């Protein structure tokens, strides 16, 4: 997975989209690529399993995503 964005629709600027990032989606033809709207929110960037042997990091990130998406949290 290259990128997963989790957000709400509040504070969204619907008249302006993020600029394209060169090489982010290298197999896209560029014409049909639609970037997300710009939002005025803090950003938290999480990464895991940067190196092949870091399998426990996959479980940690999976737990974080499950916690964020849990409606009871």
Q: How far apart are CA 62 and CA 23, in angstroms?
A: 26
Render pLDDT for 47-61 as a digit per residue (tens, 0 to 9).
888 888 888 888 998
Domain count across the chain: 2
Q: Are residue 12 and residue 47 in the same domain, yes or no?
A: no
Q: Which of 34, 39, 16 is closest to 24 using CA atoms?
A: 34
User: Binning pLDDT at 50, 70 and 90, where does residue 63 land?
Assistant: very high
Instruction: Give the pLDDT of residue 47.
Output: 85
| pTM of the full structure | 0.55
Render pLDDT for 27-49 as a digit per residue (tens, 0 to 9).
666 565 667 777 777 888 888 88
Residue numbers of the domain that contains 7: 1-42
* Residue range 7-14: mean pLDDT, rounded: 74
Q: Are residue 33 and residue 51 in the same domain, yes or no?
A: no
């Amino acid at each position: 997975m290259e990128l997963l964005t989790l957000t709400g629709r509040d504070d969204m600027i619907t008249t302006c989209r993020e600029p394209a990032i060169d090489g982010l989606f290298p197999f896209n033809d560029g014409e049909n690529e639609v970037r997300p709207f710009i939002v005025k929110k803090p950003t938290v960037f999480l990464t895991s399993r940067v190196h092949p042997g870091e399998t426990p990091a996959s479980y940690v990130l999976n737990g974080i995503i499950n916690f964020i998406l849990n409606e009871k949290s």
